Amino acid sequence: MNRTESMRYDVIMAGVGGRGVLMAGLLLAQAGMTEYRNVLWFPSYASTMRGGPCECTVILSNNSIASPMLSRAQAVIIMEASQAGPFENRVQPGGIAVVESTGLSGKMRRDDITTLYIPAVERAVALGNAQVMNLLLLGAYIETTRVLSPEAIDSVLENRLAGRGREQLLALNKRALREGMKAARDPA
């Protein structure tokens, strides 16, 4: 992709520990290093227990990044329904919220953002493994924003998984990414 000098994308991913929040952010950041001059991945999590709240910020920019701290981002990916309320106000007006809708009671209250409700856990289970729900939501984000090509994520996945007897896991992760992109184009 041809990026202009002033391109910048920022996203906050939120959920609970053990659900792939930090991994999805790291994948996005590593893939972003091929297309942006400056990339930041800033994780934040409670170390007391698995299942505790966690989040990460990813900034992809062709300009300097002054700070990893964002009070509001262009986009928020909410990977756990219980985090929808706390993170709804972290989206900038005109921004995007990609929300795991399995188990979500109610909808976002804001009408100044675009919200995609993706039943990622259900779709991941249909693919054969609930753990790839993070890649489904990442795929929906990529499809909506065009921040990176899916092939850039594929390349990072291949570097992490190929040749280690994990070819089936690699194929599953790629399918999950594409399923998320499809879900963004045609939300159920």
Predicted confidence at residue 48, as pLDDT, reads 55
* Residue listed under structure tokens 């998984």: 161
Predicted confidence at residue 187, as pLDDT, reads 66
Backbone angles phi, psi at 41, to 5 degrees: -125, 120
Q: Is the pLDDT of residue 52 over 50?
A: yes
Predicted confidence at residue 2, as pLDDT, reads 46
Give the residue, 1 or 26, on which the prediction is more confident.
26
Hey, where are the domains in the chain? 8-185
Q: What is the mean pLDDT of the chain?
A: 90
Predicted confidence at residue 162, as pLDDT, reads 74
Give tens-digit pLDDT for 59-118: 999 999 988 888 899 999 999 988 888 899 999 999 999 999 988 887 888 999 999 999
Specify whether the CB–CB gap between 122 and 102 falls below 8 A.
Answer: yes
* Residues with Cβ within 8 Å of residue 106, at least 6 apart in sequence: none
Predicted confidence at residue 72, as pLDDT, reads 93
Predicted confidence at residue 4, as pLDDT, reads 53
Predicted confidence at residue 76, as pLDDT, reads 97
Per residue, the 3-state secondary structure of the chain, as one string, reads CCCCCCCEEEEEEEEECCCCHHHHHHHHHHHHCCCCCEEEEEEEECCCCCCCEEEEEEEEECCCCCCCCCCCEEEEEECCHHHHHHHHCCEEEEEEEEEECCCCCCCCCCCCCEEEEECHHHHHHHHCCHHHHHHHHHHHHHHHHCCCCHHHHHHHHHHHHCCCCCHHHHHHHHHHHHHHHHHHHCCC
pTM of the model: 0.91
- CATH architecture of the region 8-185: 3-Layer(aba) Sandwich (3.40)
Strand partners, 59: 10, 40
